[in-house]
């Protein structure tokens, strides 16, 4: 379905939304494999069961949100205030930040600024609710096109952690005060 709405309604997901979030993940996996020819998410990491359990855990914690176009899920984003200590230094962990995970936009909504709007929402929400200074993301180490996407969104590469078994070792950040203008899509939490 193509995006027709100019305003998407952003709603915190509930456990019963797990199939919706998993469906967005599965759609992204299929697209990455068929169109992008990348190894990202070629296998659920670390296993299918643990991958789904992680989705459920973030949903139960209230960290996962879905952007809706009427009754159609357009995108999902997961945010948290705690850093993964395997990836971020103690000094970085001490800084207030929002950590973005699984920013996924359904293909029918791609190229319309939905991802950018969600990143700005995460920055704004976290800055106002707990004083976050940074928006941070760890992305698939080998997906250079994804690295370019985040750099195009104003993120700077912090470093690439290729010394870990964890596949998302490319670390990016931008200040929460930097929110590029997004035209065409607005988010409403009401």
pLDDT number for residue 182? 86
187: closest CA among 59, 3, 8, 60?
8
The answer as to whether 132 is a domain residue is yes
The answer as to whether 95 is a domain residue is yes
Q: CA 122, CA 58: separation in Å to the nearest integer?
A: 15
The answer as to whether 1 is a domain residue is no
Q: CA 29, CA 21: separation in Å to the nearest integer?
A: 12
Q: What is the per-residue pLDDT across 35-61, written as a single tens digit (0 to 9) for each?
A: 666 665 555 556 667 878 889 999 999
| Whether the predicted pLDDT of 95 surpasses 80 | yes
The answer as to whether 154 is a domain residue is yes
Q: What is the per-residue pLDDT across 12-41, written as a single tens digit (0 to 9) for each?
A: 999 999 999 999 998 888 876 766 666 655
- 175: domain CATH number is 3.40.630.30
pLDDT bucket at 112, cuts 50 / 70 / 90: very high
The token pair at 37 is: 């020819």
The answer as to whether 189 is a domain residue is no
The token pair at 126 is: 């976290």
The answer as to whether 190 is a domain residue is no
Cα of 100 vs its chain's centroid, Å: 5
The answer as to whether 102 is a domain residue is yes
Domain holding 175, by residue range, is 7-182
pLDDT number for residue 4? 58
Alpha-helical runs (H) found in 13-162: 18-31, 48-60, 90-94, 114-130, 144-152
Query: In the block, which residue shows the tokens 């929110």?
Result: 179
SS3 labels along 53-86: HHHHHHHHCCCEEEEEECCEEEEEEEEECCCCCC
Instruction: Provide the domain count of the chain.
Output: 1
């Amino acid at each position: 379905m193509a995006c027709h709405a100019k305003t998407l309604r952003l709603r915190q997901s509930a456990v019963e939304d797990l199939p919706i979030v998993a469906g967005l993940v599965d759609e992204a996996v299929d697209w990455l494999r068929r169109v992008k020819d990348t190894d990202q998410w070629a296998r659920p990491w670390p296993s299918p069961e643990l991958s789904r359990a992680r989705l459920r855990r973030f949903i139960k914690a209230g960290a996962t949100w879905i952007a809706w176009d009427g009754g159609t899920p357009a995108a999902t984003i997961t945010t948290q205030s705690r850093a993964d200590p395997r990836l971020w230094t103690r000094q970085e962990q001490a800084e207030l930040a929002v950590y973005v995970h699984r920013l996924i936009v359904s293909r029918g909504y791609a190229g319309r600024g939905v991802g950018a709007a969600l990143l700005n929402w995460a920055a704004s929400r976290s800055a106002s609710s707990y004083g976050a200074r940074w928006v941070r993301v760890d992305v698939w180490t080998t997906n250079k096109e994804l690295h370019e996407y985040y750099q195009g969104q104003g993120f700077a590469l912090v470093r690439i952690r290729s010394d870990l078994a964890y596949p998302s070792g490319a670390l990016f950040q931008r200040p929460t005060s930097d929110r590029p203008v997004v035209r065409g899509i607005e988010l409403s939490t009401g």
